Every structure is written in structure tokens, then in C-alpha cells.
Amino acid sequence: MTDLRLADPGHEGSWLNDPVHRRYLRADAERQVRFFALSLRGDGGFDALDHDAQPLLRQGQELHTTTRLVHSFALASAAGFGGTEEIVDAGMRYLWTVHRDPMHGGYLWSVDENGVHDGSKLAYGHVFVLLAASSAALIGHPLAQTLMEDILTVLDTRYSDEGRALFQDEFTRDWQVFSDYRGMNANMHGTEALLAAYEATGDRRHLDRAGDILDFFTRSMAGEYGNRIPEHYTSDWEVDPDYSGNPMFRPAGTTPGHSLEFARLMLHHWDLAGRPEGDTVGRARALVTQALSDAWREDGGLVYTLNAAGGVAIPDRYWWPVTEGIGALASLLKISADAKLEAWYRRLWKFAHGALIDRERGGWYPELGEDGRPVSRQFIGKPDIYHALQADLLPLAPGLSRSIEGLRDTRGA
């Protein structure tokens, strides 16, 4: 395939409005869709793929893999890419008939050909079920309403934390508490899912709950911690500065990439709420500016984590913080032109184009070594389409919210 140029160097104004750049975004999205469509198995499940789109040895299909494929291919369907409905349909059916636990309710974290691989019930996975069901509803999937009703009941009855808007985190398969951990990550993605649920249903409760979660993390916590957001909390939602868990999913310290995600979600919520007067845009910009300042490496890319003092803790470069920076910057630039933010948007895309995107086979390399070449330390193969596809498609949508509706209007543009 002949590679498209990243942008037209002669274009005046933002890359968001550059026809060459917009064709580039669609071309990369199309390559991703073709690549990850190959993950579908004959039994309706999905394989993890190596860099060449060959199935990796199965270690159990995780809930967030299934759900994020559904959400991503719903976005791709709205954007007009072919062959997406089969993935959405397979994923929805797999969620309802395989991940869903008919014995105890809720959704199993990991399943395999023998049944339950890991029966843990994690908020992180369950909020993605809501995201998948909401996105599928927005493209008219027949199972979406049933799945949405079920997952909303589970989230309300199992994960609501003593009347708070915040979600508690983890249970055994039969809903026994096995830790008092509370985390930002599940709540951030819970916000994302609630906003999608509001778009799908119009139920104001979802929008209001998302707003309460955002206030806690992006106003209270970010305000107290210098526009950085602590990741880990005790059972009474006090910051736990000594917590260190799984080095990939629960590293110590703060994660600049999550500040970038939260900034985009703040603007998404603000838009759905009617763009009320206040400081939302300024706070979102402050989160983005701090994260990019903290995390950008001189040799390109964004570091993974910071220590309590704001210094670099884990300098590794992963793809997803770059994609989330792109999404947050695109949202801010849709509100108003800004030369500094535009420069950052272009810087991130140039880095992604040169170091992260596999323009021959499709998909993004998830991890780079010190020499700037792809490595497989934390990630084997190409783990999913979710972050990178949104980096392509969300800038194409005209607004800050209702992206599925907006992407339909971009077809052929």
C-alpha cells in the first residue's frame, strides 16, 4: 500500500482541518481495522495477535480485550469501514454467553476453551462491558439493550462504594471482598463508560455520576497534587502513596497518560452537559500541559510513570500515552486554535508516524526500547486496537462528544 503523507506542509491552520492529514487518519484506521479483524476465531472468541497478525498462544481471553474490540469496531462501523459488524456481533455474543457468569452474575475476567480461566470480578473489566454495550447500542445492535440493563444493575449493586459515585475495585467470582484497594483507573474508564451510556440512553443519572467522578479526580485530587492525579487509594479514598502493584496495570506513583485521558473525558462531559460556564477547559488544559511537560522525552515519546516528587520513575515508552495525548489535544484544538497545543499535536503525530505505527501490516507497536525500536517486555504482540484507533477517529469527529454520531457525518469527507 502506498503510504499517505502525514499532513500537507503547505496547509494553513490546524492539522485537524487539513484534508491530507484527515486522509492519513482514515488510512491508518483502515489498516488497524483490517489487522485486528483477523483476531476473530471460529468459535466467536478473539485471539491475541503477534506483530504479523498471527495468533499468540492462548492464555485466556480477558474481558477488557473483548469489550474494547466491540467498542472500537462500533466506532469503525460508524466511520464507514466494512466488515466491522461481524466483530461487534461476535464480541457482544461472547460477552453474553461466555464472559457473563450465569452462576453468580457479573462478568468473568478471563475465559478459555475449558471455561473459567480467571473468575475474578474486576470493576475495570465491568465498566468496559458498559462501554461496549453503549457503543453497540449506538449502532443498533440487538443485544445491546439486554446487556446494558444487566451491566448497569451489576455496577449499581456490586461496585457502588457506600453511596459514593466512585466505583470500588475487586471481588472473587462469588463476590467476596479480597482487598480494600481503590483505584483511579477503573473510575476513569467508568467515567468513559457512563458518558457513552448517557449518549445511548439519555438517562441524566449517568452524566451526573460521571461528573461526580471527574470532580473527585480532576478537581480535588489534581488540585491538591499539582495537576497530577494519584493512582492508588485506601478503602476510605485517602491517597495511598506506598502502594505498588502489578507493574503494568498498577505501578506506583502517577501516570501522565491517565491525566491526558482524564482531560479528554472532562471536555467530553462538559460538552454533553451543555458547555456550562466555569473552569473546565482551563483545568483540562492544565492537566495536558503538566503531563506533556512531565513526560516528554528528549528522544521522543512519553514516559510511563512519575514518582511522588514528579520525577521520572518508569521511563519506558508505550504507545497508549501518545494516543491519549493526541485525543486530548484534538479536543482542546476543536474548542479554540492555539499555536502551542497545535505544535504538541503535530509533535506527537510525527513521533507516532516515525516510531509506533506499523504502516505495512497495520496496528501500532506497543513498546519501544532505548534504541527507539519495538521491543516485547511488558507487551507481547499488538495487544489491542482501542487506544490507537481512537487516536485516528476521534480527531476526525467534528465535536467533543457523540463521536459515533459525528463519525457518520465524516464518511467520504
Identity of the residue numbered 406: G
Q: What is the DSSP letter of 355?
A: I
Residue 408 · residue 78 · CB < 8 Å: yes
Which residues are registered as beta bridge partners of 107? 100
Sequential DSSP letters for 109-138: SEEETTEEEE--EEHHHHHHHHHHHHHHHH
Q: Is the dihedral of CA 321, 324, 330, 335 positive or negative?
A: negative
Residue 302 · residue 317 · CB < 8 Å: yes
Show the CA angle centred on residue 295, arms to residues 371 and 256, nearest 5°.
125
Long-range pairs of 343-350 with CB within 8 A, sequence gap ≥ 24: 344/292, 345/14, 345/15, 345/16, 346/7, 346/15, 348/322, 349/6, 349/7, 349/15, 349/21, 350/6
Residue 214 · residue 262 · CB < 8 Å: yes
State how far the Cα of 189 lies from the Cα of 127, in Å rounded to an integer: 7
Joined grid coordinates for residue 284 = 483540562
State how far the Cα of 217 lies from the Cα of 199, in Å rounded to an integer: 22
Joined grid coordinates for residue 289 = 500541559
Active-site positions read 258, 387
Joined grid coordinates for residue 283 = 483545568
